[in-house]
C-alpha cells in the first residue's frame, strides 16, 4: 500500500520559515519523481515545486528564491523548505509521487498525501 505522509506545517508569522517533509512508503522512492502542490481556500491546486528522480528541479515563479525542494532517497523523503513566508502562501500543502514527470507537472500523479496546513499570519 502506497502512503505519502506530510508533516511540518503550522502557523508562522510573515517572514518566517517552515520545513515540510513527506515520507513515502510502498513505492520505489528512488525511481519516482516528486512534487509539492498547494491549495488555498477557494482556489485551484497549484504546483509549488517538483524534483525529478535525477534531481532536476522546477519551481513556481511565485516561490522562486524563497522555497527549496530536496530529496533524500535513503530516507524515502522529500522536503520543502519555506523561507520568507507571505500571507499568500497560506494553503494546504500536498506531496505527490509518480514515475512520469509529466504527470507530476500536470498534477496527475498516481499518489498523494493527505496534506499539511501552512498558515502565515501578517
Measured CA distances, 98 to 40, 94, 106 (Å): 23, 14, 11
Give the neighbor-by-neighbor strand order of the sheet with 77-82: 3-7, 18-25, 77-82, 67-72
DSSP assigned state of 63? T
pLDDT value at residue 54 = 96
62 pLDDT tier (thresholds 50, 70, 90): very high
Q: What is the pLDDT of residues 3-44, one digit of tens each?
A: 999 999 999 999 999 999 999 999 999 999 999 999 999 999
d(CA 98, CA 86): 29
Q: How do residues 86-115 score in pLDDT, each as one tens digit? A: 999 999 999 999 999 999 999 999 899 999
Using CB atoms within 10 Å of the CB of residue 67, give its burial: 0 to 12 exposed, 13 to 18 middle, 19+ buried.
buried
Amino acid at each position: 500500500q502506497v502512503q505519502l505522509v506530510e508533516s511540518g506545517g503550522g502557523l508562522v508569522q510573515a517572514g518566517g520559515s517552515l520545513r515540510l517533509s513527506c515520507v513515502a512508503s510502498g513505492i520505489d522512492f528512488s525511481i519516482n519523481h516528486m512534487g509539492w502542490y498547494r491549495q488555498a481556500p477557494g482556489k485551484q491546486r497549484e504546483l509549488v515545486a517538483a524534483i525529478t528522480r535525477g534531481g532536476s528541479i522546477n519551481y513556481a515563479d511565485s516561490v522562486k528564491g524563497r522555497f527549496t525542494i530536496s530529496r533524500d532517497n535513503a530516507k524515502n523523503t522529500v522536503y520543502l523548505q519555506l523561507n520568507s513566508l507571505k500571507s499568500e502562501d497560506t494553503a494546504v500543502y500536498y506531496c505527490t509521487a509518480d514515475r512520469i514527470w509529466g504527470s507530476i507537472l500536470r498534477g496527475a500523479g498516481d499518489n498523494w498525501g493527505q496534506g499539511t496546513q501552512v498558515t502565515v499570519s501578517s
